[in-house]
Amino acid sequence: MSRSRDTTEADLQGFAAAVAHEIRTPLSAVAGELELALRRDRSPEEYREVLRRIAAGVDELVQISGDLALFGDPASRSIPEAAVAPLDGVLVRIRERYSKRDDVEIAVDPSTAVRVAAEEDRLLRALVLIIEHALRHRKGAGVVSLRAVPLADHRVRLLVEALPSGFWPQAWKALADSPDGVAGPLRLRTAQRLLEGAGGRLHVAHDLGTVEVRVDLDPIS
Amino acid sequence: MRVLVVEDEAGTRGLLERALREELFHVEGVADAAAAESCAVPGRFDAIILDVMLPDRDGFSVCRRLRTRGVDTPILLLTGRNGLADRVRGLDVGADDYLAKPFAFEELLARLRAVTRRGRSRHLQSLLSYGPIELDQQSRRVTVDSQPMILSNTEFRLLHYLMLHAETPVSRDELALHVWDAGAGGRSNVIDVYISYLRRLLGPAGSLIRTVRGSGYALSAGRRPV
């Protein structure tokens, strides 16, 4: 009992520290831009540029608060009764979302023409969170690719890759090293929780500096 | 003062670079541990601002490896983690100071001054002088034979860089990078024009800015720059 309470407390402390760290980065950018802008007079163009950068930082903070709300929502991790999502439909929506970017490739092929027991919007949100994390933590300016690989037991595996150079390991390592798969950055933890509500699971393997990211889903026969 | 900024988050790195340049620091920014370790050679920088959370290796390891290699440049660790264990670890691996995000820029500047003061770098001195030219880095005042000069921001940065490297030839590429924050491409004519402005503004002292054939310029009283 006491050990269990200690573990919960340690998890909570780790989670709070990780979230505080994630909030501090955009917050310090916003505070720094304001402080710098006020140090001396600037041209209207310079002030506009400062405001644009502050708006980007605020967007990031809004995104974090949205992730936190999703993470804290008890409904996130339960599968609604009779919820069924067409995987290829979800992937098409993600592809449309990134249609203006040439650094994201979403493959929709016969292997994704399956239905999974999931609430469609949650599955989509989980995959988008993983792609956003992948875009931020890839080496170089390569392409983030999401493609399906059919497994022998009828399950579907979605592979998330950064081509050609792969991912920086540090941003994925905590999740890979976590025995229960629930540590790591807020974005990945939220994705993991949403996937639980979609009958799936995010796996990150980290070996000799390379990172493999995959999502396993159970289709409905 | 030459500062290396090691920060993977592009927004924060850009902010630090702009802020430090406005304070007349000469800044280089890199995004990962490998780049930091390759350019942080002894004597190249007066201070290193090092983020703890880097994509390829954490800042504590970078700090330890630099110290092992004999790089004694003052290191200021910058991080979103402010726990006691992290602060102690940072100082134990050889960092000179530790600052948590979000931070006030004034405090960052004060800490930079404090860590570099220990090295007694000449760049620390507020007043730089060469022959009849005096340049106050804090007030941004320039005098020649005690007569105040009015310089544009670019002219001031150019003179400042030349004075920091007095008696040493400075290439056009270096000037493009450190004065104009740009690569050398297409800039050399602009550099030559500003050098001529500066020579004219400084009057007879302008002859101290010497052309180094095929290379760049040097502030030197001798016939040939050293």
Going by DSSP bridges, is the β-strand pair B133-136/B127-130 parallel, antiparallel, or unpaired?
A: antiparallel
Give me the residues of B, 13-52, that contact A with CB < 8 A: 15-16, 18-19, 22, 32
Residues B141 and B208 in one domain: yes
Q: In this model, does residue B133 exceed pLDDT 90?
A: yes
Six-digit token string for A39 = 């140090």
Q: Identify the pLDDT of residue A6.
A: 64
Going by DSSP bridges, is the β-strand pair A104-106/A143-150 parallel, antiparallel, or unpaired?
A: parallel
Residues B193 and B204 in one domain: yes
Residue B54, chain A, CB below 8 Å: the answer is: yes
Domain boundary (B104, B122, B140) is at B122
For the ranges A117-121, B119-123, B160-164, the lowest mean pLDDT is seen at: B119-123
Cβ contact (<8 Å) for B80 and A57? no
**Residue A79: which pLDDT band, with cuts at 50, 70 and 90?**
low
Report the C-alpha gap between A172 and B119 in whole angstroms: 38
Residues B75 and B101 in one domain: yes
Instruction: Assess contact for A29 and B15: CB atoms under 8 A.
Output: yes
Shortest distance, CA A10 to any CA of chain B (angstroms): 14
Q: Which residues pair with A145 in a beta bridge?
A: A105, A161
Q: Which residues of A touch B53 (CB under 8 A)?
A: 21, 170
Residues B105 and B183 in one domain: no
User: Number of helices and strands (H, E) in chain A?
Assistant: 6, 7
Range of the domain at B197: 125-219
Q: In this model, does residue B118 exceed pLDDT 80?
A: no
Residue B183, chain A, CB below 8 Å: the answer is: no
pLDDT in tens, B16-70: 999 998 888 889 999 999 999 999 988 788 899 999 888 888 899 999 899 888 8
Shortest distance, CA B58 to any CA of chain A (angstroms): 8
| Phi, psi (deg, nearest 5) at residue A32 | -65, -40
Angle (CA) A199-A200-A203 rounded to 5° is: 160
Region of A204 please: left (phi>0), alpha (psi -120 to 50) or beta: beta
Residue A52's Cβ-count burial label (10 Å; 0-12, 13-18, 19+) is exposed
Report the C-alpha gap between B83 and B56 in whole angstroms: 22
Q: Identify the pLDDT of residue A7.
A: 63
How much is the average pLDDT of B184-198?
Answer: 77
Class of domain A81-217: alpha beta
Report the C-alpha gap between B167 and A135 in whole angstroms: 47
Cβ contact (<8 Å) for A21 and B56? no
Q: Identify the pLDDT of residue A218.
A: 80
C-alpha of A90 from chain center: 16
Task: Tell me the CB-side half-sphere exposure of residue A74, using CA atoms within 13 A.
Answer: 0
Of A25, A56, A170, the CB nearest to B101: A25
What end-to-end distance do the CA atoms of chain B give, in Å? 21
Cβ contact (<8 Å) for B55 and A137? yes
Instruction: Assess contact for B216 and B171: CB atoms under 8 A.
Output: yes
Residue B224 forms part of a structural domain: no
Residue B103, chain A, CB below 8 Å: the answer is: yes
Residues B117 and B200 in one domain: no
Cβ contact (<8 Å) for A171 and B55? yes
Report the C-alpha gap between A123 and A116 in whole angstroms: 10
**Residue A92: which pLDDT band, with cuts at 50, 70 and 90?**
very high
Residue B226 forms part of a structural domain: no
Six-digit token string for B97 = 């100071």
Residues B70 and B87 in one domain: yes
Q: Identify the pLDDT of residue B183.
A: 56
For the ranges A10-19, A62-71, A161-170, the lowest mean pLDDT is seen at: A10-19
- ipTM comes to 0.72
Cβ contact (<8 Å) for B12 and A32? yes
Q: In this model, does residue B223 exceed pLDDT 70?
A: no
Instruction: Kindly list the domain boundaries of chain A, sorted by start residue.
Output: 2-72, 81-217
Cβ contact (<8 Å) for A28 and B105? no
Shortest distance, CA A13 to any CA of chain B (angstroms): 11
Determine if the pTM surpasses 0.80. no
Q: Identify the pLDDT of residue A70.
A: 84
pLDDT in tens, A105-160: 999 888 778 888 888 888 899 999 999 999 988 888 889 999 988 777 777 889 99
Instruction: Assess contact for B215 and B169: CB atoms under 8 A.
Output: yes
- Produce one character per residue of A87-113: b if its CB has 16 or more CB atoms within 10 Å, e if not: bbbbbebbeeebeeeeebebebeebbe
Residue A56's Cβ-count burial label (10 Å; 0-12, 13-18, 19+) is middle
**Residue B5: which pLDDT band, with cuts at 50, 70 and 90?**
very high
Q: Identify the pLDDT of residue B123.
A: 45
Q: Identify the pLDDT of residue B4.
A: 96
Residue type, B11: G
Q: Identify the pLDDT of residue A48.
A: 93
Q: In this model, does residue A59 exceed pLDDT 60?
A: yes
Q: Which residues of B touch A34 (CB under 8 A)?
A: none
Q: Identify the pLDDT of residue B44.
A: 84
Residue of chain B whose alpha carbon sits nearest to that of A54: B11
Q: Which residues of B touch A25 (CB under 8 A)?
A: 9, 12, 80, 101
Q: In this model, does residue A180 exceed pLDDT 70?
A: no
Q: Count other C-beta atoms under 10 Å from residue A165's C-beta.
A: 11
Q: Which residues of A touch B80 (CB under 8 A)?
A: 20-22, 24-25, 28
Residues B8 and B118 in one domain: yes
Q: How large is the C-alpha radius of gyration of chain B?
A: 19
Q: In this model, does residue B121 exceed pLDDT 80?
A: no
Instruction: Assess contact for A125 and A163: CB atoms under 8 A.
Output: no
Shortest distance, CA B75 to any CA of chain A (angstroms): 20
Cβ contact (<8 Å) for A31 and B83? no
How much is the average pLDDT of A46-59?
Answer: 92
Report the C-alpha gap between A216 and A202 in whole angstroms: 7
Average pLDDT, chain B: 85
**Residue B95: which pLDDT band, with cuts at 50, 70 and 90?**
very high
Domain boundary (B103, B122, B141) is at B122
Six-digit token string for B105 = 């820029």
Q: Identify the pLDDT of residue A99.
A: 92
Q: Which residues contact B81 (CB under 8 A, 6 or more apart)?
A: A17, A21, B52, B53, B100
Residues B79 and B130 in one domain: no
| Phi, psi (deg, nearest 5) at residue A103 | -110, 15
Cβ contact (<8 Å) for A32 and B100? no
Average pLDDT, chain A: 84
Residue B153, chain A, CB below 8 Å: the answer is: no
Q: In this model, does residue B120 exceed pLDDT 70?
A: no
In chain B, the percentage of residues whose pLDDT exceeds 70 is 90
Total tally of structural domains belonging to chain B = 2
Cβ contact (<8 Å) for B11 and A39? no
Report the C-alpha gap between B196 and B163 in whole angstroms: 16
Residues B64 and B78 in one domain: yes
CA dihedral sign of residues B203, B208, B209, B212: positive
Residues B91 and B145 in one domain: no
Domain boundary (B87, B122, B157) is at B122
pLDDT, greater one: A58 or B72: A58
- In the block, tokens 């009828």 appear at A154
Residues B60 and B165 in one domain: no
How much is the average pLDDT of A179-207?
Answer: 79
Residue B225 forms part of a structural domain: no
Q: Identify the pLDDT of residue A3.
A: 58
Task: Tell me which of A28, A61, A138, A139 to substitute to probe the interface with B (most B C-beta atoms closer than 10 Å).
Answer: A28
Topology of the domain comprising A2-72: Helix Hairpins (1.10.287)
Report the C-alpha gap between A117 and A87 in whole angstroms: 10
Residues B57 and B35 in one domain: yes
